[in-house]
Structure 1
Amino acid sequence: MNDPYPSRKSHLKNLDKPRSLLERLTDLISPEPESRAQLLEILQDAHTRNLIDADSLSMIEGVFQVADLCARDVMVPRAQMDAINVADKPEQFIPFVLEKAHSRYPVYDGNRDSVIGIMLAKDLLRYYAEEEFDVRGMLRPAVFIPESKRLNVLLHDFRANHNHIAIVVDEYGGVAGLITIEDVLEQIVGDIEDEYDYDEEEGNIIATPDGAYRVRALTEIEQFNETFSTRYCNDEADTIGGLVTHRLGRVPHRGEKVQIDDFIFVILRSDARQVHMLLAKQLPFNMVSHHEHNDH
């Protein structure tokens, strides 16, 4: 006998089927989603099922993270800003610009609380082409933002105003640091290639002219030990970046220094989640001995 309500039978059959990822996502993006945590849980489940790759999941998680972070969380602190004193002559600061290799520099007058503009490195070409070179006249306006400004709002402002750098100020109007559009995007997509990065072909450890070494944070401890005859243990971490993070008990900030045995590690690049690049410098034997003596 035919069922007079075939649609009811079909509906009951569907109740017995496991709900698909698409159906669960559809429920969550309905006018009344349950929670962001559940959405992330489903996305992580999608990664487990190989429906999205690890990079995609990481970027989605980064988008959520950007909404929770503010400028003070990722800014370059005032003390570590590569800034230029307007009173200096071009022949004084151009070598500094070449060394740091940034595209933009804050320019201050007197002290770092008095930022008067932003200098573009490319504008320095005019120094070699013009007889009269006026530093003040070539500066671009500086954008000032509070420490509490949310990164998602800041990213929107950067894009809308075609701006790439902002000066972060504290509640008293003093300069707390600076932040670039790259700093914000790195919270989403991970580390972006900059002056401290290099090609895969060049390896994980590169010597610098001053006797130090630029080391990728993902360099395995075993490789580092083989290169420098060190005896770092890989029980707590597999990589040099992990070793430094474990030693500090947190993700270090750019510019921080950590001594582990006879090496000083300076953080060249890191974000809120991990270290990306370090500068490693081996201490002379007498300095190591002195340090170990003081520790006892």
Structure 2
Amino acid sequence: MSNDIHFGLLQRIGHALFGEPIDREWLMRHLKDAEAAAVLDAGTLSMIQGVLTMGERQVRDVMVQRSQMVVMRRDDDLAALVRVVVDSGHSRYPVIGEDRDEVVGILLAKDLLGYLEPGQDLPFALRDVLRPAVFVPESKRLNVLLREFRQTRNHMAVVVDEYGGVAGLVTIEDVLEQIVGEIEDEYDFDEDETDIEPIDDTSALVRGLTPIEAFNAHFGVTFSDAEFDTVGGLLAHQFGHLPEVGARLEYQDFEFEVTAADARRIEQVRAVRAAPSPDATEDDG
């Protein structure tokens, strides 16, 4: 394609970005034309699309669910806090009181380092290193949240629902991923696909964020959703920690194997329903 056509595309994109307000669909059409003409590469186009759509997305779309938050407790001693840091590898943690609806502050892992130096015998009190928690509503737009994160130099916020209860947490990384994208692997689900992908009659790949109610409906079981909303939250509780890929757990009549996970959540599991025992089969007959 000639330089004149390249220049014309750049002129139109520049006018759209810096000139008079224009319809977003028009802009996206010309950006795609620019990609087709090799003026923009696919990665750049994807980032621009991410920026343009941030104003349409809300915190609830990207937050870590309440049941999957890694938290510390107000009454934990130094050894317990260090164990959580070592097991999870995070840099920031919500600190809770009686339950997850009572977030009393944020702990930065680096603030524990001074108490761990050899020869140090400093008295430790969690309240001395606790930082104020920032609370945001589920409905806040991501572009607004990113601007606030940058202005306040804050990297984490606790998300609250319309009733004031804690719904989850969101980090600046969660927001930036909407621009630069995530690193996908072979186990990632397409957002347009179902939460449960059957393998055969007794097994399926299940997203961690699958509602327990949906899991129950698919398999005809009655897992309780009184304490946890999602399959990932329930299994993280049963493991007692955030498991690594390959970890297995037997729960009720199922064996679960973690097939995808990151430092914050169970992304996907393989659920295999145990075959009925011979005795049970005979009794049914």
Q: Tell me which interval the TM-score lies in, with the shorter structure as reference length.
A: 0.5 to 0.7
Instruction: Render the CA deviation track for 1:119-162: whole Å, top value 9, x for unaligned.
Output: 01111123323430011111011111111111111111111111
Distance 1:18 1:98, change over 3 A: closer
SS of match in other structure, 2:85:
helix
Question: 1:107 aligned to 2:98?
Answer: no
Instruction: Render the CA deviation track for 1:176-220: whole Å, top value 9, x for unaligned.
Output: 11100000001101127xxxxxxxxxxxxxxxxxxxxxxxx533x
Report the CA distance between 1:93 and its aligned residue.
3.1
Match of 2:195 in 1: 248
Report the CA distance between 1:117 and its aligned residue.
0.7
Partner residue of 1:171 out of 155, 159, 162: 162
Distance 1:256 1:150, change over 3 A: same
1:245–1:252 contact (8 Å) kept in structure 2: no
2:96–2:103 contact (8 Å) kept in structure 1: yes
Question: 1:72 aligned to 2:39?
Answer: no
SS of match in other structure, 2:177:
helix
Aligned alpha-carbon RMSD (Å):
3.7
Map 1:212-231 → 2, pairs under 5 A: 217-219=184-186
AA aligned to 2:160 is V
Instruction: Render the CA deviation track for 1:55-94: whole Å, top value 9, x for unaligned.
Output: 1011001111211111111111111111111112222232
Question: 1:85 aligned to 2:70?
Answer: no
Distance 1:189 1:72, change over 3 A: same
Report the CA distance between 1:247 and its aligned residue.
4.7
Report the CA distance between 1:278 and its aligned residue.
4.9
Match of 2:31 in 1: 43
Instruction: Render the CA deviation track for 1:88-132: whole Å, top value 9, x for unaligned.
Output: 222223212211100000001111111111001111123323430
2:59–2:138 contact (8 Å) kept in structure 1: yes
Distance 1:86 1:45, change over 3 A: same
Higher Rg of the two aligned structures: 1
> For residues 143 and 9 of structure 2, what CA distance do their matches in structure 1 show?
28
Match of 1:185 in 2: 176
> For residues 92 and 73 of structure 2, what CA distance do their matches in structure 1 show?
14
AA aligned to 2:174 is D
Report the CA distance between 1:248 and its aligned residue.
2.3
1:82–1:105 contact (8 Å) kept in structure 2: yes
Aligned residue pairs, count? 224
> For residues 57 and 208 of structure 2, what CA distance do their matches in structure 1 show?
15
> For residues 137 and 147 of structure 2, what CA distance do their matches in structure 1 show?
15
Question: 1:268 aligned to 2:261?
Answer: yes
Unaligned ranges ≥5, structure 2: 198-205, 210-229, 236-253
Map 1:3-82 → 2, pairs under 5 A: 20-29=8-17, 31-82=19-70
> For residues 37 and 270 of structure 2, what CA distance do their matches in structure 1 show?
44
Match of 1:127 in 2: 115
TM-score by length of 1: 0.64
Instruction: Render the CA deviation track for 1:3-28: whole Å, top value 9, x for unaligned.
Output: xxxxxxxxxxxxxx999213433553
1:256–1:266 contact (8 Å) kept in structure 2: no
1:126–1:133 contact (8 Å) kept in structure 2: no
SS of match in other structure, 2:131:
coil
TM-score by length of 2: 0.67
1:107–1:117 contact (8 Å) kept in structure 2: yes
AA aligned to 1:133 is F
Match of 1:137 in 2: 128
